[in-house]
Structure 1
């Protein structure tokens, strides 16, 4: 068990070679011995080896700086040179909250006293949260020399980073600090050993595994680095332009599979999909019941028919609980629809086939009733036990949805089901981003540059209308640290996160780099060949769940223009929600329609035109556009009940041409929409 009084240190080796063969590493044992020889304060709590990849490095460092149990010091070795694959400084600089140029200067000064080639190293040092981060060269001797130059000073830095009061720490002055650390300034300028500053790596693995991506880093595009400034950002998107079918295939591939859960049989299960077959625990009906208003009769023994004639009304059976006495031969019982047949009854004669023969003395009740037909057969007008649902039979199958119409719910209730196994519906969070965005209901005049938030209310409504729980995550500043903090908080609350804005190519469009660089997520696509909605982004992030297991969360970053956001939600988010809930088919219903007007095509991108689909008297489905289709024009959704799927091409689609439509709402039954 680790000593809580000790400072916890983690050693991270960055090397493609050692990742493939950990036995080649010699730096971890060398640095461990250095820590032990300098001070008993240190506990080498973790070691890890990762390849030369920015995202892998960042994932590993965040494991040690952002969790519940953090390191006091993280030392990385490797990737600090000028080789094309050397990316450790770039990875760490983005993570560091406070840079420590003094530590960098100390390491470089010590190395330069030995060899001018020390100028070829690019060390980084600083603080993230409460952890000191330090990078050293990849060669074992170079790593030892650099760390040795500053190691005696690091306990003081770590204690400060943990939040100790600086005034009390410095109470004895600089001489006391130097004495406590066992240093004098000249001692930190060099070492008798000649270090090797070669950046080839030979590494030894000590059994600690961090998260590993399953795709080739060379095949993954990388988002802009916000710390590089606008002059260094890409002038065109690094993400390949995917077709809508290819993008939908990635959504299906990377959306987590449905999760089973047990739910009580109450209205809250409407819309859920069953995860197992349901058997009836009891028959329906559970008793012999009448299906008409009339008279229950008992056939004479050995007689196939019930004869006409006048009979005394001996019993009355209503649709209520309780059992009456036995019906004897020669008697009849007045009975209502759904009421249980008296014991001994064989059939029910409809009231239409009878006449009142006599009444009681007070005139309020029937005394004798005449049966007018002899065509009644045994079992006629009787609903037998289990005739609707037999006990033990399968009433609903796995994969069937408990529809909002309620038939499936009624069936479950009728057989007395108390709990069922269903697929859990994902919880969906909706967040708007941008410092220019204000709440739609804020009662003041807009200032120059401000925009009312229409996306969030529309998307929250869309999520709820499709039967999913929606969490309003508000408006978040498009500053990198604010985005990271709020995205992390959102992923703890939600299974699927929808953001709008910040996915284009501007210097403040930071969602992609925040997801990739800060959260360690994977962006599966960042551009789609469609109009509107080209910058639509789909990503997944792996986080630690409540039970300690790592779970995959889904992020859809939609464009900021309202029409683009709504189109992208229905085209990509809804199928993902259906997939995670076990709902099939995925997404909006598709129908073929005939254009009732001429529609212009976009020459380069397929377009999802907001339109109105209506049924003519001839039974054919026809469609018209709602007008101007600019992506910022939310008014184009007024009256729309469909997206008309228009192919890319020059010219126009003519009136009478057939296209596919995705239905948003009910089809109108008029020729004048």
Structure 2
């Protein structure tokens, strides 16, 4: 068994990220949510485009009030116009004058400060200040957020609401993103029955839930799931299915058949096909029987070859998901051109609400729910840690990590948590 950290390194070293040119596509901005940007986006504009007000109030010239001591007698003439957001302003603010301005409104020439309306009193056409503002107060200056020519969003960034909104502000109607990896899913085992035939379920048979769980995880990771159906415990049939998957997928995931039972054929088939098997088992619980292999696929272009990664995950549903969370998700992120921040799981410290136990021989992951109390992370473990009990994993959003030789964490103590 290989340590978890070593397996993670082996997998990431095997992944060759997509190329920005050959593995990308240009899409409209509304279609790139959760996609990975394939090239830097440089702003052609200053943000803001012009000086504007960050508050409803009055724009003024600070020089008019800089040396004022007697506030009771200070009155500024209110200009006979007002400035709303979206209104182009060409007027010059005169000496001793102020102008009503609203949030987002463009500052007139000559104005350099805004005082909010609550700190003023209007008397006829004059404005009395209750406090003395600081110079430049409540003004968003041109180029304060980003200057023209500056990189706005970098390649490798996963695009979400904030990034897409910023790109829209920069007038990007379409952007180049990496294509979505295609992930083949093969379910193995005589005991499996597809969901559409569940009404014919016999004793000893189970629904192929791994297909649905893995397909959902793949979609959440920004890839495309390609189901190849259920394959019985037949070596020839499984070999045919793997060859079909190689022809159409970037990564292959098979569930079941990767252990050491009489009907576990995955490793034997991969060896027969000339695959390089890099991992056979991991010192992790659950998820110990994990096969990681690489195969080549001819691209028929100057006789070049493409490397396909193969993951044989356990058949137990929670174990299969654990393998994805800990190892496969990061491989998809790297393949998909995402920057290295997305390659590794996110870990934090949290207080456990129950005693945590492990045998200590393998790195153990205990599933449960992460919540926050007064800003402090709290981990609530579940009661029944059986890797075959998918029901117990409902609502899971975090895993408590018990290191090798760590057998006990008492209630109220901190424990390392992996976010899922």
The residue aligned with 1:196 is none
Which residue does 1:448 correspond to in 2? 203
Q: 1:376 to 1:600 in 2, by over 3 A?
A: closer
Of 137, 147, 150, the residue aligned with 1:393 is 150
1:247 pairs with one of 7, 11, 14: 7
Correspondence 1:370 to 2:136: no
Contact 2:349 2:415 in 1 (8 A): yes
- Tell me whether 1:641 sits opposite 2:402 in the alignment: no
Higher strand share: 2
**3-state SS, counterpart of residue 149 of structure 2:** coil
Q: Distance in 2 between matches of 1:643 and 1:434?
A: 28
Structure 1 residue 255: Cα displacement: 1.9
What is the match of residue 347 of structure 2?
590
Aligned length: 409
The answer for unaligned runs of 5 or more in structure 2 is none
Instruction: Identify the residue that residue 281 of structure 1 maps to in structure 2.
Output: 44
Structure of greater Rg: 1
Question: For 1:297-325, what per-residue CA distance to the aligned partner results, in whole angstroms no more than 9, with x for missing partners?
Answer: 4689x996799436354223221254455
Deviation at 1:446, TM superposition (A): 0.9
Q: Which residue of 1 aligns with 2:169?
A: 414
Q: Cα distance 1:375–1:632, how it changes in 2: closer, same or farther (>3 A)?
A: closer
- Contact residue 40 and residue 154 of structure 2 kept, 8 A: yes
Q: Secondary structure at the match of 1:449?
A: coil
User: Distance between the aligned counterparts of 1:299 and 1:508, measured in 2?
Assistant: 83
* Shift of residue 455, structure 1, vs aligned partner: 0.7
- 1:543 offset after TM fit, Å? 0.9
Q: Is the 8 A contact 1:282 1:391 kept in 2?
A: yes
Offset from partner CA, 1:577-635 (integer Å, 9 cap, x none) = 2332333253322234565544543375443333445566795x665542332332223
- Partner Cα distance (2:152, 2:375) in 1: 39
- 2:296 is matched with which residue? 542
Quickly say closer, same or farther: Cα 1:331–1:613, change in 2 above 3 A.
closer
Q: Does 1:572 align with 2:332?
A: no
The change in CA–CA distance for 1:328 and 1:248 in structure 2 (over 3 A counts) is: closer
Contact 1:281 1:417 in 2 (8 A): no
Contact 2:27 2:174 in 1 (8 A): yes
SS of residue in 1 equivalent to 2:181: coil
Shift of 1:551: 1.2
Cα displacement (A) at 1:293: 1.6
Q: Displacement of 1:263 after TM fit?
A: 4.7
Cα distance change on mapping 1:538 and 1:377 into 2, 3 Å:
closer
Cα displacement (A) at 1:530:
2.9
- The aligned counterpart of 2:53 is 290
Q: CA deviation at 1:447?
A: 1.7
Q: Is 431-440 or 560-569 further displaced after alignment?
A: 431-440
Contact 1:644 1:662 in 2 (8 A): yes
2:191 to 436, 450, 456: 436
The residue that corresponds to 1:562 in the other structure is 317
Q: CA deviation at 1:257?
A: 3.1
CA shift for structure 1 position 500? 0.8
Instruction: Find the aligned partners of 1:593 and 1:293 in 2 and give their Cα distance.
Output: 43
2:63 is the alignment partner of 1:309 = no
Which of 620, 627, 630 in structure 1 is aligned with 2:386?
630
Task: Report the TM-score when normalising by structure 1.
Answer: 0.53
1:108-130 residue CA offsets vs partner (Å, 9 max, x unmatched): xxxxxxxxxxxxxxxxxxxxxxx
CA displacement 1:329-354 (0-9 Å, x = unmatched): 56654321101123454444432344
Q: How far does residue 573 in structure 1 lie from its aligned partner after superposition?
A: 0.9
How much has 1:562 moved relative to structure 2?
A: 0.9
Unaligned runs of 5+ in 1: 1-240, 359-367, 665-673
Equivalent residue of 1:257, what SS? coil
Q: Name the CA shift for 1:352/1:303 in 2 (closer, same or farther; >3 Å).
A: closer
Report the secondary structure of 1:566's partner residue.
helix
Q: 1:470 maps to which residue? A: 225
- Alpha carbons of structure 1 residues 370 and 244: separation in structure 2 relative to 1, 3 Å: closer
Deviations 1:112-149 (A, max 9, x none): xxxxxxxxxxxxxxxxxxxxxxxxxxxxxxxxxxxxxx
In structure 2, what is the Cα distance between the partners aligned to 1:482 and 1:599?
A: 43
Report if the CA contact (8 A) 1:536-1:568 is conserved. yes
2:226 and 2:242 map into 1 onto residues whose CA distance is 13
**Aligned-residue CA RMSD in angstroms?**
3.7
CA distance in 2, matches of 1:600, 1:445: 40
What per-residue deviation string (whole Å, max 9, x for no partner) do you get for residues 123-176 of structure 1?
Answer: xxxxxxxxxxxxxxxxxxxxxxxxxxxxxxxxxxxxxxxxxxxxxxxxxxxxxx
Q: Which has the higher contact order (CA 8 A, sep 6+)?
A: 2
Task: Confirm or deny: 8 A CA contact 2:119 2:131 kept in the other structure.
Answer: no
Which residue among 92, 96, 100 is the counterpart of 1:334?
Answer: 100
- 1:22-33 → structure 2 map (5 Å cutoff): none
> Alignment partner of 1:539: what SS?
strand
C-alpha displacement of 1:276? 5.6
Q: Deviations over 1:521-545 (max 9, x none)?
A: 2221222233322221111111133
Q: CA distance change for structure 1 residues 402 and 249 in 2, over 3 Å: closer, same or farther? A: closer
Alignment equivalent of 2:17, drawn from 226, 236, 257: 257
Residue aligned with 2:216, SS: helix
Using the TM superposition, give the Cα deviation of residue 326 of structure 1 relative to its aligned residue in structure 2, in angstroms: 4.8
Q: Secondary structure at the match of 2:269?
A: helix
